[in-house]
Amino acid sequence: MQNNHTLQWPLPAHDYWSTPFAELLLHHLDLFPGASVLDIACGGGIPAFYIAEHVGPSGKVYAIDSNIRQITRCLVTQQHDLPWLHFECADMKALPRTLPTFDRICGNLSFMFFRPDRLGVLRQLITHLKPGGQVVLTFPSLGTFDSIWNRIDQEMASRHLTQERAALAEYIAKRPSAQDAHKWLSTLGMERIEVSEWPLEIQSGPGSKFLHHPLLRGGFLDDAYECFTDQELADDVMKTISEDLEKFSPLIAQRCAMAAWQRSTP
């Protein structure tokens, strides 16, 4: 979509994770004045505020997240602006049947939360999409931070940690790929399917800067720690890896956007 005016609610330039994914989402999302939009897993409001400004007061944006702290954060930011933007704490995997249908459904960095039954959640989600409506979801796809996982696997192998290696392999195998996304959209009978991937490099320093990186330790590295039953062992392995950062840099994430249209007629 094109931006033809000065925005009061632009995507925040300081956010090095959500904003790049949102930019890819908005590249695919076809917005128009008066559109009704369901934004799932809205987090801190990227890109809900941006979308609301574009659909205008004749439109409606319903943004949900299961984390009440995120919703509270959005409400504090919103104050009394954009009254057609409504934030609510709700589970995207258990949407009420009374929820209306929407012209557009989107979710930035949302699709990884669809597990374990990603196809089932996606099927339920598009029941709230109007005929001829569009869905666009972004997620870090298979291949994200492969250099990290490869280095962890090497360290596990050198220490003969068979059980931990198996847990790591299982975690990686469950990460959705761009091909998976295309297959699921096709299975559900969606039209004009587009799935795109763009790399995103994340900067980090070695040692504690890596282990306590606000993105990595708050998300991806947690998955690596969960492969261990002995957390002291996990700390030792990860500390060794953190001091070897130069050998597995750059840290590359794969931004993936999956977009498709509901059939105009049943």
- Per-residue H/E/C for 14-83: CCCCHHHHHHHHHHHCCCCCCCEEEECCCCCCCCHHHHHHHHCCCCEEEEEECCHHHHHHHHHHHCCCCC
Whether 153 and 188 share a structural domain: no
Whether 43 and 31 share a structural domain: yes
Rounded CA gap, 180 and 161, in Å? 30
**Of the candidate ranges 45-49, 53-57, 62-66, 218-222, the one whose mean pLDDT is the lowest:** 218-222
Whether 180 and 126 share a structural domain: yes
Whether 94 and 212 share a structural domain: no
Is residue 4 domain-resident? no
CB atoms within 10 A of CB 183: 14
**pLDDT, tens digit, for every residue of 73-120?**
999 999 999 999 999 999 888 888 889 999 999 999 988 888 889 999
Unique residue bearing structure tokens 């957390």: 231
The average confidence (pLDDT) of the chain is 94
Rounded CA gap, 204 and 190, in Å? 39
**pLDDT, tens digit, for every residue of 198-252?**
999 999 999 999 999 988 987 899 999 999 999 999 999 999 999 999 999 999 9
SS3 184: helix
Q: Which domain holds residue 220?
A: 146-172+207-243
Whether 23 and 36 share a structural domain: yes
Whether 133 and 32 share a structural domain: yes
Residue 66: per-residue pLDDT: 93
Residue 10 gets which letter from DSSP? P
Helix (H) or strand (E) holding 256: strand 251-261
CA distances from 44 to 66, 132, 146, 187, 221 (A): 12, 29, 27, 32, 22
Is residue 1 domain-resident? no
Residue 5: per-residue pLDDT: 58
Global pTM? Answer: 0.92
Whether 90 and 192 share a structural domain: yes
**pLDDT, tens digit, for every residue of 152-178?**
999 999 999 999 999 999 999 889 999
Asked if pLDDT for residue 265 goes beyond 80, the answer is: no
Residue 1: per-residue pLDDT: 52
Whether 62 and 188 share a structural domain: yes
Beta carbons of 133 and 31 less than 8 angstroms apart: no
**How many distinct structural domains can be found in the chain?**
2
Asked if pLDDT for residue 2 goes beyond 50, the answer is: no
Rounded CA gap, 243 and 241, in Å? 5
